[in-house]
Structure 1
Amino acid sequence: MTALVIGLVLFIGSHSVRLLASDWRSATMARLGEKRWKAIQAVVSLLGFGLILWGFSAARLDSPLLWQPPLWGRHLAGLLMLPAFILLVAAHVPKNALRDRVGHGLVASVALWALAHLLANGRVVDVVLFGAFFVWALLDFFSLRRRDRLAGNVRHDGSVRNALIAVLAGGIVWAFFAGFAHAWLFGVRPFG
């Protein structure tokens, strides 16, 4: 579990510097240069992600069960993943109305992913992993939305056509993941 926690601190911490220490981040980036800052942040993130994967897989084997998730929790989790995948795709489709409305779809997607997996899993290691990501994503999402409001950042140039493309593509990715990839990667069928 130690590797998982260290990985979470590194990964989430590297993605929270702007949230927690914006002035320090700006000063350090000015001193190091943007490319060097981003390279260091990428290395820390990748190291953290690797530790998360390794730590989670190791801790899963003997993690105590806190509660037995109900069967409907797995089905609800599978359904919640549909908007999570749509928001994930919408965050990367340029000029779409969905991205304009949500604001920070990638972070919202992470929050839905974490919530879905908290509903479907009841071990200590699950609560640590998905709970950490859920809390971080909520704090980050509302912080980013607040920063946008204060800066007057409002987008209204996104098209409904591109939003529909994001919804369709997100739905296709969700169907592939729910029907095949999740079982292949993690040994669990969301609707099986």
Structure 2
Amino acid sequence: MEMLIIGVSLWSLVHLMKSVTPSLRGSIQNAIGEGPHKGLVALTLLGSLALMILGWRSTPAEFVYDPPTWGRHANMALMFAAILLLGAAQGASRIRQWIRHPMLTGVLVWAVGHLLANGDHKSLVLFGGLGLWALISIITVSRNEGPWVKPAKIASFGRELLSLAIAAILYVILVFIHPWIAGVPVVAG
């Protein structure tokens, strides 16, 4: 469990530095240089991902609450929405006309979905922690950016269909690799 907590904490702290403590981030960047700073951030984030995966897999589940019976099905639907939101953050999309931070919103949707499907303590740490990070990031980044100006560029209908197709393919891939990442199959067989 310690690895999981450290991984979620590292991920959150490194990401929040830009929006919560920009002067500290700037000081570190000035002290070591932009390239080494980016490398250090990347290595820290990769390390945090490894700690989260290893921590998750090595911690036996102790249940804290009973998730609703419909939670697993809701999670499967919310996962498609989360993937679509993550994709919308990568370029022009009509979604960006309604959602200011589609990537962070996608992480939040992912976290809520998994909390609806899982009621154990390691789920609370991983999904609750990353969901909280995404929510804090949405608030702090929005505060730093000022009033929202919707993007002028809107994706074509063909681009939106392509995004849906890519999201569907990624969804299927994630269903198949989920047992190797999380140690839990999405679809009980």
TM-score, structure 2 normalization = 0.86
Aligned to 1:73: 71
Alignment match, 1:64: 62
Note the C-alpha offset of 1:2. Answer: 1.1
Taking only aligned residues, the RMSD between alpha carbons, in angstroms, comes to 2.2
Equivalent pairs counted in the alignment come to 187
Q: Quote the residue 1:37 is aligned against.
A: 37
* Amino acid in structure 2 at the alignment position of 1:33: G
Task: Indicate how the Cα distance of structure 1 residues 191 and 103 shifts in structure 2: closer, same or farther if over 3 A, else same.
Answer: farther
Question: Which residue is equivalent to 2:177?
Answer: 181
| Counterparts of 1:130 and 1:143, CA distance in 2 | 20
Give me the identity figure in percent: 28
Out of 157, 168, 180, the position equivalent to 1:171 is: 168
| Worse-superposed segment, 35-44 or 25-34 | 25-34
Structure 2 spans left out of the alignment, 5+ residues: none
CA distance in 2, matches of 1:116, 1:136: 16
Which residue in the other structure is 1:46 paired with?
Answer: 46
TM-score, scaled to structure 1: 0.85
**Which range moves more in the overlay, 153-162 or 17-26?**
153-162
Amino acid at match of 2:25: R
Is structure 2 residue 11 aligned with structure 1 residue 14? no
Q: Does 1:157 align with 2:177?
A: no
> CA contact under 8 A between 2:20 and 2:140: conserved in structure 1?
no
> Once the 2 structures are TM-superposed, how far is the Cα of residue 12 of structure 1 from its aligned partner?
1.4
Q: Is the 8 A contact 1:83 1:109 kept in 2?
A: yes
Amino acid at match of 2:65: W
Q: CA deviation at 1:126?
A: 0.9
Question: CA offsets per residue over residues 67-88 of structure 1, 9 Å max, x none?
Answer: 2223310001111111101011
The 8 Å contact of residues 182 and 190 in structure 1, kept in 2 or not, is answered as: no
Q: 2:92 aligns with which of 91, 95, 102?
A: 95
